[in-house]
């Protein structure tokens, strides 16, 4: 099962009550599907339908964490849990348990609580604003991981949906552009993840539960998926990419980095890079990431030069962040 840092498990144990309505989910499942949702009244039904339509030769469960939305999301989740008690384990959270990052509420408590409830040999994730389109997604990924015990992470291509509801290929997405920068993609591992950045959409992934050990840094980082992939692969394990048609739709520009000010984006970059450096155990891996972090700082500096005349405060903030990052990197 997934290992979780003692400080996080204590945080979960000491939290205000999380309500779990009765269910009939089997005690033994092959896959746990994690769904975190907040204010997704327009999308959560499509998300759950895409999971419930999965055709498999094994049992799977849906861990549905609802973060006390202020729209109809909670009512929709309750209705689905009542209709599908054999599949859905519903967790009704309270906002008092929310973990703030950079002064803003996050979904970290919700996701960590879900991780603590995983019973499957494998786990997959589909956030409440994304959805699956291939009813064989889970089966294909389980087969791939069963066939390759050296792989701890499996992912597929996705399609992208913009705010107007238009769906298009991910061919021009930042993740695919990064993937095309990889020199040798025949055997994927942690190295290309550190060299080019994240090239995996969360709604497409499946991980091996016993390979994941969640450290305390996880709840401090504004970026969860990238840390997750590093944690799954930093001990030399492989990443399996399925060359199938897209299995999911990722709603673009609805996540952590959307609609944020330049200031908050810069702070979040510094925060997540510090967390990555803190969790990397291998000196070679740290060196690879440091090279990319240096390049990233230069790119940010060039960007700041373009806007500092219009926003003088940004220049001061950038200088502050550079000092902090350089101290963290021991430069």
Taking only the tens place, the pLDDT of each residue in 16-71 is: 899 999 999 999 999 999 999 999 999 999 999 999 999 999 999 999 999 999 99
pLDDT of amino acid 244: 84
pLDDT at position 284 over 90: yes
pLDDT of amino acid 257: 46
Q: Which tens digits make up the pLDDT trace of 151-197?
A: 999 999 999 999 889 999 988 888 888 998 898 887 899 999 999 99
pLDDT of amino acid 187: 84
Longest dimension (CA), the chain: 61
- Compute the average pLDDT of residues 6-10: 95
- Compute the average pLDDT of residues 210-224: 94
* End-to-end C-alpha distance for the chain, whole angstroms: 38
Q: Which tens digits make up the pLDDT trace of 115-156?
A: 999 999 999 999 999 999 999 999 999 999 999 999 999 999
d(CA 50, CA 132): 5
- What's the pLDDT band for 308 if we cut at 50, 70, 90? low
Higher-scoring residue by pLDDT: 326, 187: 187
Mode of pairing for the β-strands spanning 122-125 and 31-37? parallel
**256, 295 Cβ separation under 8 angstroms:** no
């Amino acid at each position: 099962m997934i290992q979780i840092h003692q400080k996080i498990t204590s945080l979960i144990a000491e939290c205000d009550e999380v309500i779990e309505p009765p269910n009939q989910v089997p005690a033994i499942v092959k896959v746990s599907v994690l769904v975190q949702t907040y204010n997704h009244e327009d999308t959560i039904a499509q998300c759950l339908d895409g999971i419930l339509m999965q055709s498999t030769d094994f049992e799977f469960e849906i861990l549905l964490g609802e973060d006390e939305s202020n729209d109809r999301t909670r009512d929709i989740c309750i209705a689905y849990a009542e209709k599908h008690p054999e599949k859905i384990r519903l967790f009704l959270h309270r906002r008092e348990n929310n973990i703030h990052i950079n002064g803003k509420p996050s979904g970290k408590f919700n996701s960590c609580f879900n991780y603590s409830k995983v019973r499957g040999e494998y786990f997959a994730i589909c956030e409440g604003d994304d959805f699956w389109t291939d009813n064989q997604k889970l089966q294909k990924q389980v087969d791939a991981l069963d066939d390759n015990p050296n792989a701890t992470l499996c992912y597929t291509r996705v399609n992208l949906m913009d705010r107007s509801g238009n769906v298009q290929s991910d061919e021009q997405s930042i993740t695919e552009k990064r993937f095309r920068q990889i020199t040798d993609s025949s055997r994927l591992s942690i190295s290309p993840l550190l060299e080019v950045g994240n090239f995996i959409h969360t709604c497409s992934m499946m991980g091996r539960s016993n390979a994941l050990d969640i450290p305390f840094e996880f709840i401090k980082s504004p970026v969860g998926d990238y840390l997750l992939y590093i944690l799954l692969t930093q001990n030399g394990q492989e990443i399996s990419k399925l060359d199938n048609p897209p299995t999911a739709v990722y709603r673009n520009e609805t996540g952590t980095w959307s609609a944020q000010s330049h200031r908050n984006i810069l702070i979040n970059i510094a925060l997540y890079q510090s967390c990555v450096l803190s969790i990397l155990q291998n000196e070679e891996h740290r060196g690879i990431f440091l090279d990319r972090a240096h390049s990233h700082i230069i790119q940010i500096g060039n960007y700041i030069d373009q806007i500092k005349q219009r926003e003088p405060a940004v220049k001061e903030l950038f200088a502050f962040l550079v000092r902090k990052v350089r101290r963290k990197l021991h430069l």
